[in-house]
Amino acid sequence: MPEFTQAVYVISVAAELAGVHPQTLRIYERKGLLNPNRTSGGSRRYSQADIELLLRIQELTSEGHNLVGVQRVIELEMRIAQLERELQATRAAAADAVADTHRHYRRDLVPVPDSAVVLYSEARRRRR
């Protein structure tokens, strides 16, 4: 199976997999919704990621969104996914920092025998 982002499908196959006409793919590309890879000869090649994007576009248009709305929804979904990745990385970094701090505290703690602890007493201090 080709990799998710590897562009292997020609326009007719991509259109069939997405359940649309090849001309629809050209329209989506002109509107900026889709950006397929190109061969050295200029032929369009679509990846599995492109096919999934096409299916999402179809889903949104069937819900009644126009192409401008679809583009905005997809941009926002991509931004949310990016922010979720950043948040996950930040949480991991924070957890690592907390763990490092706790490890540092454990190194600073030294066991002290009970006999080495002397309680402070006002009475002892006055005898001097």
Find all residues with CB under 8 Å of 90, minimum gap 6, and list them. Answer: none
- Number of Cβ within a 10 Å radius of residue 72: 13
Residue 122 is assigned to a structural domain of this protein: no
pLDDT, one tens digit per residue, over 26-80 is: 999 999 999 999 989 989 999 999 999 999 999 999 999 999 999 999 999 999 9
Q: Can you give the pTM of this predicted structure?
A: 0.69
27 token code pair: 């329209």
Whether 38 maps to a domain, the answer reads yes
Q: Tens digits of per-residue pLDDT, 83-117?
A: 999 999 999 999 999 998 888 776 666 777 777 77
The residue range of the domain holding 38 is: 11-88
54 assigned to some structural domain: yes
Residue 31 lies in a domain: yes
pLDDT score of 109: 67
Residue 56 lies in a domain: yes
Whole-number Å distance between alpha carbons of 20 and 41: 24
Residue 82 counted as domain residue: yes
**Helix-then-strand count for the chain, H and E:** 5, 2
Give the chain's domain count. 1
CB 7 within 8 A of CB 50: yes
- The domain that holds 22 is classified in CATH as 1.10.1660.10
Q: Does some domain include residue 70? A: yes
Phi, psi of 31 (to 5 degrees): -80, -5
* Torsion angle in degrees (nearest 10) through CA of 6, 73, 56, 32: -50
Q: Which two tokens stand for residue 92?
A: 């991991």
The answer to whether position 2 is within a domain reads: no
